Amino acid sequence: MLNSTNANEAAAKITALVVDDSRINQSIHRKLLENLGIENQVAGNGKEAVDVHCSGKQFDLILMDMDMPIMNGIEATRTLRAMGIRSTIAGVSSHAHNENIQEFVNAGLDDYQEKPLTISKLISILQKVNIN
């Protein structure tokens, strides 16, 4: 079973991208990742997430918000998968409507967690990360 110590050891090898337009969520998600020793950076919307991948960067884990301006999480996930990005993508949203969540999952998520994100939810997500 993955406990906090094991999580830190495994997580030290993982890189992550936080995709969220909310500054407070960017701050909290980055701190959650940092406390687990995960190197990370931020994209402020789906288009920025796609652009950072087009520049050649790749990540083991993408924490993807659903509702964002310019390009939302559903569209960004679909686009990344169409580009051949095989990173673990975890949708993270406070959205209430199940049909939107299902569309998000169908776009290519490996996991979905309701906001707000906690350490235990993040550890659960990390168990699904494939380290290439």
Partner 1 sequence: MAGKDLNQKLNELISSLQDQGILDDYFDELKGLQDEQSPQFVTNTITIYLGGADDTIAELTKNLSEPAVNYPRVTYLADKLKGSSMSIGGARMADVCAELCEASEANKREACLALFGGVNREYSILQESLNKIAQLEQAIHDNKD
Residues contributing to the site for partner 1 (CB under 8 A):
22-25, 27-28, 31-32, 34-35, 67, 94-96, 115-116, 118-119
Q: How far is the CB of 121 from partner 1 (least distance, A)?
A: 10
Q: How far is the CB of 53 from partner 1 (least distance, A)?
A: 25
DSSP 3-state assignment of 16? strand
Chain mean position to CA 60:
9
Burial 87-118 (b: 16+ CB within 10 A, else e): bbbbbbbebeeeebbeebeebbbbbbbebebe
Kindly tell me which of 28 and 52 has the beta carbon lying closer to partner 1: 28
Kindly tell me which of 41 and 118 has the beta carbon lying closer to partner 1: 118
Q: How far is the CB of 69 from partner 1 (least distance, A)?
A: 9
Kindly tell me which of 53 and 65 has the beta carbon lying closer to partner 1: 65
Query: For residue 84, what is the DSSP state?
Result: T
Kindly tell me which of 27 and 102 has the beta carbon lying closer to partner 1: 27
* C-beta neighbour count of 78 within 10 angstroms: 17
Q: How far is the CB of 66 from partner 1 (least distance, A)?
A: 10
* C-beta neighbour count of 37 within 10 angstroms: 14
